[in-house]
Amino acid sequence: MVVGYGKKIRQAVRDVNRKAWKKYKCPSCSRTSVKRVANGVWQCRKCSTKFASGAFEFRG
């Protein structure tokens, strides 16, 4: 059914957004302050270290 398909897509989009906007633990200072600043670029708000990682999910 068309309705069920659309629901699945929306769930996937929500999941990606949640991962993209959530804060991640900084491998450098161990504080949960790493946020996405650009596609594949993440930065720690505490120690300002920048990381290149996944476009929508941080992998420290």
Of 5-13, 17-25, 39-47, 51-59, the window that binds Zn ion (rule: CB under 5 A) is: 39-47
Which of 38, 41, 47, 55 binds Zn ion (CB under 5 A)? It is 47
In whole angstroms, give the CA distance from residue 38 to residue 20.
Answer: 10
What is the 8-class DSSP label of residue 29?
Answer: T
The least CB distance from residue 49 to Zn ion, in Å, is 5
Instruction: Answer yes or no: are the C-beta atoms of 39 and 55 closer than 8 Å.
Output: yes
Distance of alpha carbon 35 from alpha carbon 7, whole angstroms: 28
CB of 25 to Zn ion, least distance (A): 9
Which residues of this protein are in contact with Zn ion, per CB under 5 A? 26, 28-29, 44, 46-47
